[in-house]
């Protein structure tokens, strides 16, 4: 038995939340290790839908859930989310949730700076405007406030002063009012007693769990193509999203992350700006979007849609460290007469088998497709391999061949139970 790390293998929204919830049934702890409330993970259980941003998806099954040190945490947003899921029947107490003491805080000034930059930029990233980039900048710049600072309010004024010395210069440059240190102090002191009961140590929790032989599920947010190093820079998020980050962002050694399960959508979507070689700006793209309900969980933005790009996933299997995949949303492809899969690109008349690193080439590569026959029978809600039409199986097998990784799980609807296990990732 091993631990399992779940990451997105495309541009996000592959269905990580659904699969983590499903897997968490057999784990004793779920840990988020990067990102923040830019993530939107949807979990459907019967007639209930939970939309989680900061809370690890293990909370739905009442599993001990850790927000690891690699996550950037907006404490106001965390409390809102706890209230929201509380109204939906999930009570989040410190018995269930631990917030790493060394996690960095996202403050209103980060959200505002994210917005100012996006609004002023000629070439926008299309961020979620949640302050994620600016808060990671402050972390690396060694001026961030961290969760543990809320336990020591007396230390806050000096830390705020250091932070504002940086931010107020930027704000003046953008023609915005400076942040009032006293007001920020008041609001932090106000929220501190509501957050501190959750604060603990991620690495010690995980060490104790390991010693007790407990199984741990590491929950990634975003996806490899949004990784700050391995993604479509600069159209990326500001954290590492690859499996390697699970170790650093939770406080365990690299051998502890176990089997890496890459979540892969049966076609491709992207929300925000940036290159997307197989994007379909036509009726087929619209159809994928409608059938897949491709609207962002966090911002409600329409997701861009296109055919499955095997070049990208072949690459993210390697850079992400993926051992096996979960293919999701196969049902969305039901009824298409034919399906296209991108096998390689052409750039300046030459064959290219990977995504070039520079943004210009990324925008210029031309996808070369292979056409597969579609299927008319429904796969929606299928719970066994035997229920799948022959052409759906051919599609899955061809994808496995092209990306160099095998399907461990298959998802056929948003519902938790509509999941087929081909290979147990915990074994």
Positions marked catalytic: 13, 41
Q: Quick one: what does residue 130 bind among Mg ion, ligand GDP, ligand IMO, none, with the CB cut-off 5 to 8 Å set by partner type?
A: ligand IMO
Q: Which two tokens stand for residue 202?
A: 């991620």
Site track for ligand GDP across 261-280, x = CB under 6 A? --------------------
| Contact flag: residue 309 with ligand GDP (CB under 6 A) | no
Q: What is the closest distance, in whole angstroms, from the C-beta atom of residue 35 to ligand IMO in the complex?
A: 6
| Contact flag: residue 54 with ligand GDP (CB under 6 A) | no
CA distance linking residue 159 with residue 133, whole number of Å: 20
Stretch that binds ligand GDP, among 5-13, 152-160, 175-183, 346-354 (CB under 6 A): 5-13
Q: Quick one: what does residue 307 bind among ligand GDP, ligand IMO, Mg ion, none, with the CB cut-off 5 to 8 Å set by partner type?
A: none
Q: What is the closest distance, in whole angstroms, from the C-beta atom of residue 350 to ligand GDP in the complex?
A: 34
Q: Quick one: what does residue 209 bind among Mg ion, ligand IMO, ligand GDP, none, with the CB cut-off 5 to 8 Å set by partner type?
A: none
Site track for Mg ion across 276-305, x = CB under 5 A? ---------------------x--------
Residues 234-273 close enough to bind ligand IMO by CB under 6 A: 235, 237-238, 271-272
Stretch that binds Mg ion, among 34-42, 154-162, 267-275, 324-332 (CB under 5 A): 34-42
Stretch that binds ligand GDP, among 10-18, 95-103, 186-194, 225-233 (CB under 6 A): 10-18
| Contact flag: residue 12 with ligand IMO (CB under 6 A) | yes
Q: What is the closest distance, in whole angstroms, from the C-beta atom of residue 41 to Mg ion in the complex?
A: 6
CA distance linking residue 405 with residue 262, whole number of Å: 9
| Contact flag: residue 328 with ligand GDP (CB under 6 A) | yes
Q: Which two tokens stand for residue 218?
A: 């590491």
Candidates 35, 36, 40, 320: give the one binding ligand GDP (CB under 6 A).
40
Candidates 23, 29, 31, 40: give the one binding ligand IMO (CB under 6 A).
40
- Of 1, 58, 28, which is closest to residue 216 (Cα–Cα)? 28
User: In sequence order, which residues have a C-beta less than 8 Å from that of residue 362 and are 6 or more positions away?
Assistant: 232, 275, 277, 355, 356
Q: Return the axis-axis angle of helices 181-195 and 75-87, rounded to nearest 10°.
A: 40
CA distance linking residue 423 with residue 397, whole number of Å: 14
| Contact flag: residue 32 with ligand GDP (CB under 6 A) | no
| Contact flag: residue 18 with ligand GDP (CB under 6 A) | yes
Q: Which is nearer to ligand GDP, 103 or 298 (CB)?
A: 298
Residues 2-21 close enough to bind Mg ion by CB under 5 A: 13
| Contact flag: residue 40 with Mg ion (CB under 5 A) | yes
| Contact flag: residue 52 with ligand IMO (CB under 6 A) | no
| Contact flag: residue 239 with ligand GDP (CB under 6 A) | no
- Provide the binding-site residues for ligand IMO, judged by CB under 6 A: 8, 11-13, 38-41, 125-128, 130, 132-133, 221-223, 226, 235, 237-238, 271-272, 297
- Provide the binding-site residues for ligand GDP, judged by CB under 6 A: 8, 12-18, 40-42, 44, 293, 297, 328-329, 331-332, 411-414
- Provide the binding-site residues for Mg ion, judged by CB under 5 A: 13, 40, 297
């Amino acid at each position: 038995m091993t631990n399992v790390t779940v990451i997105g293998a495309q541009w996000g929204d592959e269905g990580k939340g659904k699969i983590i919830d499903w897997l968490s049934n057999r784990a004793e702890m779920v840990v988020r290790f990067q990102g923040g409330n830019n993530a939107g993970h949807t979990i459907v259980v019967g007639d209930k839908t939970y939309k989680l941003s900061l809370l690890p998806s293990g909370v739905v099954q009442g599993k001990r859930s850790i927000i690891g040190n690699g996550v950037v945490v907006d404490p106001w947003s965390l409390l809102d989310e706890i209230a929201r899921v509380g109204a939906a029947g999930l009570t989040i107490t410190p018995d269930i949730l631990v917030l790493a003491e060394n996690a960095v805080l996202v403050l209103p000034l980060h959200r505002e700076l994210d917005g100012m930059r996006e609004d002023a930029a000629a070439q926008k990233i299309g961020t979620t405007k949640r302050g994620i980039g600016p808060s990671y900048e402050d972390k690396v710049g060694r001026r961030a406030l961290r969760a543990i600072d809320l336990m020591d309010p007396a230390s806050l004024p000096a830390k705020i002063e250091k932070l504002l010395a940086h931010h107020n210069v930027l704000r003046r440059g953008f023609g915005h009012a400076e942040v009032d240190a006293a007001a920020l102090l008041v609001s932090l002191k106000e929220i501190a007693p509501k957050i501190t009961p959750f604060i603990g140590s991620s690495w010690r929790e995980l060490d104790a769990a390991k010693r007790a032989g407990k199984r741990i599920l590491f929950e990634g947010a975003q996806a490899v193509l949004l990784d700050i190093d391995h993604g479509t820079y600069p159209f990326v998020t500001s954290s590492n999203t690859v499996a390697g980050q699970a170790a650093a962002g939770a406080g365990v050694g690299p051998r502890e992350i176990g089997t890496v399960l890459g979540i892969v959508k049966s076609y491709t979507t992207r929300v925000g700006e940036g290159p997307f070689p197989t994007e379909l700006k036509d009726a087929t793209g619209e159809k994928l979007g409608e059938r897949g309900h491709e609207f962002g969980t966090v911002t409600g933005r329409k997701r861009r849609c296109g055919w499955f790009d095997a070049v990208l996933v072949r690459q993210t299997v390697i850079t992400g460290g993926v051992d096996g995949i979960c293919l999701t949303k196969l049902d969305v492809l039901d009824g298409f007469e034919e399906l296209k899969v991108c096998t390689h690109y052409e750039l300046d008349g030459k064959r290219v088998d990977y995504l070039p690193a520079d943004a210009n080439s990324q925008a210029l590569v031309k996808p070369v497709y292979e056409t597969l026959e579609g299927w008319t029978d429904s796969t929606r809600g299928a719970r066994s391999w035997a229920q799948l039409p022959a052409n759906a199986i051919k599609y899955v097998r061809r994808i496995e061949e092209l990306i160099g990784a095998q399907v461990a799980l298959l998802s056929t609807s948003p519902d938790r139970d509509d999941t087929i296990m081909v290979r147990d990732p915990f074994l």
